[in-house]
Amino acid sequence: MALSCNNTLFPKPFFTSCSSQTQGTHFSNLPQPTKQDPIFKIKGPSTLSGHITISGSKNASLPLLAATLCCSGTSLLHNLPNVSDIQAMASILSSLGAKVDAFDGKMRVNSDGVGKVEVDLEEMKKIRGGFFVIGPLVARFGEAVVALPGGCNIGKRPVDLHLRGLRALGAVVELRDGKVWARAANGRGLVGGKFRLDYPSVGATETLMMAASMADGTTMLSNVAKEPEVVDLARFLTDCGAWIEGAGSDNLIIRGKRQLYGSECVIKPDRIETGTFMLAAAITRSCILLSPVIPSRVSCLIDKLSQAGCKISRLDQQTFQVSAHPSHIGYDLKSFDIKTNPFPGFPTDLQPQTMALLTTCTGSSLVEESVFDNRMTHARELQKLGARIQVSGRNALVYGFDEGSSLQGSRVIARDLRGGVSLILAGLAAKGTTQIHDIAHIERGYENIDMKLQNLGADIQRLTLTPVPLIL
């Protein structure tokens, strides 16, 4: 059923739906090309077919790499994605004195040589996930100095839960000069304690789990995150000798061990990349195969796409077929509403890509972002491609192709990781040529996304622009 614009929910949009002004060639706010300005150039519309191999999870890999700092000896991680965030995290570990070797999608880390507890400021600016190291450093070495994190500008992501949790484990924590200074109050190490998170933050849950795994005594954490990546981290720490109970539930009980030992781990497939390619099949009205897939980790998206009319079949234990091809579904995709929530709710990291799809469905959809307060900037870029979207705060009313959205190629900017990849999806469905700038954001979290799409039949190229002199 089409949604009408509710004046209470959408009193005064901070930017309006697409008009003749936004569809014109107005590029004054685009970055001027530099010698090192790579872009994605997409010619659409595309029809995809074939098989896609899902890479290892970036969101699982980052805390797992940080957790190697807890361990004596060598840890070996398999199936890490080759993305810039992983490279940045490896650089942070190396800068602390860990020995890091990367080869064939694997990374071997030995942290016995760690001789520093302060992370380089420039390294921290590259990646928000670098903040994970504060828990292992304080737990194993008694102190840490870590700059406040960088990463995508998608709203407030404070680290107060991390810091309050560390205090509950016996740390003295201070903020000075844009850095967090933390040390064990007793001069020896952290101690077990109780802490309830005000919000089930994934980052805070993972940081405190690592810290508590080496604390003296038992720690009880409540209202924790239940995301699959939390479960993966708990499993790795357990394999290293930690005692953790309750991973995947609201509460964690952790009995600390003074020494953990390196172990081996295979990174699970990336559920966000899985969802992104499922949405790519839907937006291009195509049929593709994906593997490996863990269906329980994308069940919320499977339900929504099935509701829209997609046919999703499980071919074997790890392979899924996703089809929105007209010959398979017999009608066009219908609109649906989403509201982002912590797992097992609809993932915020799939909200931008889903918004792109909804502009090609029939009817109107309501998109509610309840996790981050600034995760709507991609809507402005989708408007440049012809989408009709009305945004107010954390809510967006998305009009389908029968209510004013008509995707046409244009020049747009990737303003963050997931918003950037939503522009790729829109470009695949749009008529004409789409150029996406600032693709470094996208390459933080997607391994060779251009080549993967090329293998499915998409006309997408990664190009490096050279400056063109302005002739007056």
Q: Report how far residue 267's alpha carbon sits from residue 68's, in angstroms, rounded to the nearest whole number.
A: 14
DSSP 381-418: HHHHTT-EEEEETTEEEEE-GGGT---B--EEE--SHH
Q: How many residues does the chain have?
A: 472
Which active-site residues does the annotation give? 152
Give just the sign of the alpha carbon dihedral 244, 246, 249, 250. Answer: negative
Instruction: State the DSSP H helix or E strand holding residue 106, giving kind and residue range, or none if neither.
Output: strand 106-110
Q: Report how far residue 452's alpha carbon sits from residue 421's, in angstroms, rounded to the nearest whole number.
A: 13
For residues 450 and 461, is the Cβ–Cβ distance under 8 A? yes
Query: In sequence order, which ranges of 105-201 are alpha helices (DSSP H)?
Result: 121-126, 134-141, 160-168
Instruction: State the DSSP H helix or E strand holding residue 103, giving kind and residue range, or none if neither.
Output: strand 99-103
The helix-helix angle for 228-239 and 202-212 (nearest 10°) equals 10
